[in-house]
Amino acid sequence: MATVREPDAASDYLPARMLNEFVYCPRLYFYEHVEGVFVHNRETVEGALRHAKLDDGKGELTPADELAADDKLHSRSVTLASETHRLIAKLDLIEVAGGAVVPVDYKRGSPREDRKTGELIAWDPERVQLAVQGLVLRDNGYTCDEGVIYYVATKQRIRVPIDDALVAETLAAMQAARDVAAAGVIPPPLVDSPKCPRCSLVGVCLPDETTSLRLHKTNGQPVQQTLFEVDPPLSAQALDRPAEEEEIRRLVPARDDLRPLYLNTQGLRVGKSGYVLKLQEKETVVQEVRINEICQLNLMGNIQITTQAVQALCEQETPIAYFSMGGWFYGVTHGLGVKNIYLRREQFRLADVPGFCLRLARALVAGKIRNQRTMLQRNHVEPPASALAFLKEMQLDAERAEAFDVLLGIEGNAARVYFQHFAGMIKLDDPIAPRGEAADFNFDFRNRNRRPPRDPVNALLSLAYSILAKDLTIVSHTVGFDPYLGFYHQPRYGRPALALDLMEPFRPLIADSAVLSAINTRMVTDRDFVRAGESVALRPEGRKGFFRAYEQRMDTLVTHPIFGYRVNYRRVLEIQARLLARVLTGELTTYPVFTTR
């Protein structure tokens, strides 16, 4: 049996599956076909498993001119292309009978009912995908007048005539899809669509959030928000919208089931067997962790990892982050990641536009100062009125700063006053854990010092900022940014400047808060520190306690100030990075810096 020639995968053929996505939602098509973004959800995993079974076929099909009228054949997993239309399709099953061929496409769901006739029919995206299969078969010399969708859930075959009307509809969709790709502008999200909750890319697309920011109205007039206004424009104006517009659906889970894994024991070795990481101390396996249950692997200090484990984690797009023993963040290994060059191109272009950089920097710094003020208000044993007033003044000054050096000065002044009162948020009854002997360390805090940190609170703060920078570096990669090119923080070798930019408003809310919680709930005690020269660092047990406090904070549900739904901080980081990406690519003109009340 001859094998039908497979087309060159690197050519510009439009895949049938992508035309299905285009008809379902042009934005989904743009993400997958143009930007190369793909995310699995339950539906896509089930689909992949189903196709893996079907792919058992040899991909062979008797050439059209060798088919006999009485041939009855089944061919599975055949890839064919149409030179005429520049279309390509992988066909699950081709049934050959009576000299004609019928493509059979497997789908997980169920058919829909025609509203007028009550007849069971196939969904539009599936009809179009099947028509592409018919077209590529015809272009290869076969007679193909109909196809079949086989719905796995209901075990039903639905026949689809590939007639002139469907062919015309398919070719029009094909042209529209090509035009969208050529224009290079992402189509807007569907509005309030029931398709979105089922879409695998809903967490990337943020349809309701994007629509809300795009269509934002005040006093009945559409307005383009001034770029990056921080406070109060977006949250206050949101109240002007009609009540029915206020509800924004939370279409992504509030928290992720995957957890970061921190390894802290010096000399540990990470290997893998199948899809399980094996953590070994000398020859003994001390722990086993499924790769698909973690979202990142953090190696603190001298921990070895095998090439096989690195490869498996890269394949799974699970980043590996490296720290020194003291918590200094060195870098990340990750898979091939997002192939979205358009975002990076805009990031590089806008990083050279001083006005853009300054407006964004103003908003980020003002947001941080506002959050510092909120921290003192909420957590200080006796919130100092003069400091709160000063921080309010600094926030307003930051929003108006006319140059970077002015902004840096404002940021420094705000930080000085905030840290002057930081000790008032440490609420240990007895700051030194009782143990009947003189303590080497305590949680007295006078000022912020670093490189090296010279007391326990500063050691905790440095570690917290380092881990948060790592998390935002990973988020930046995930979204498709270059984390090393920022708008406020200047480029410096090895410095994840964009991650540091994004981190500004979250320093008080996540890092400082995790430090306070670690101390106040005694997850870390004065025994957990060690001094080397001037420097104070955490012992392994102390680091473990701090990671617990940090992860608890990351997992805390918080109400998004603009969208009004509750998500954990880990999700918030990604949402904010994705919104910034929208601003860079021009889809949004407003970046709502994250602040809490």
- Chain residues binding ligand SF4 by CB under 6 A are 25, 27-28, 189-190, 193, 195-196, 199, 201-202, 205, 207
Other beta carbons within 10 Å of 225: 17
Measured from the CB atom, the residue of 43 and 281 that comes closer to ligand SF4 is 43
State in angstroms the smallest separation of the CB of 335 from ligand SF4. 22
Q: Least distance to ligand SF4 from the beta carbon of 205, Å?
A: 3
In whole angstroms, give the CA distance from residue 130 to residue 16: 8
**Residues 248, 566: contact at Cβ < 8 Å?**
no
- Nearer CB in complex with ligand SF4: 51/195: 195
Min dist CB 195 to ligand SF4, Å, is: 4
Q: Nearest approach, Cβ of 199 to ligand SF4 (angstroms)?
A: 3
H or E segment to which residue 261 belongs: strand 259-263
Check if the beta carbon of residue 595 is closer than 8 Å to that of residue 236: no
The structure tokens listed for 28 are 């989904």
Buried b / exposed e across 499-521, counting CB within 10 Å, b at 16+? bbbbbbbbbbbbbbbbbbbbbbe
| Nearest CB to ligand SF4, comparing residues 36 and 383 | 36
- Residue number, 18 or 360, with CB nearest to ligand SF4: 18
- Other Cβ atoms less than 10 A from the Cβ of 251: the count is 17
Residue 432 beta carbon to ligand SF4: minimum distance, rounded to whole angstroms? 53
Closer of 136 and 202 to ligand SF4 (Cβ): 202
Residue 188's CB: how many other CB atoms inside 10 A? 14
Q: Give me the least distance between CB of 191 and ligand SF4, in Å please.
A: 8
532: its two tokens? 């080397």
Q: Pick the closest to residue 482 from 334, 347, 578, 364 (CA basis).
A: 347
Q: Considering the complex, state which of residue 80 and residue 479 has its C-beta at the smaller distance from ligand SF4.
A: 479
Nearer CB in complex with ligand SF4: 205/457: 205
* CA atoms of 391 and 374, how far apart (whole Å): 10
Least Å distance between CB 25 and ligand SF4? 3
Distance CA 449, CA 462 (A): 9
Q: Which two tokens stand for residue 342?
A: 């358009």
Amino acid identity of 540? P
Measured from the CB atom, is 332 or 581 closer to ligand SF4?
581
Burial class (CB in 10 A: 0-12, 13-18, 19+), 372: buried
Retrieve residue 543's tokens: 């680091």
Q: Which amino acid is at 195?
A: K
For ligand SF4, the closer CB: 146 or 587: 587
Structure token digits, residue 292: 């698909």
Cβ atoms of 479 and 486 closer than 8 Å: no
Residue type, 556: T
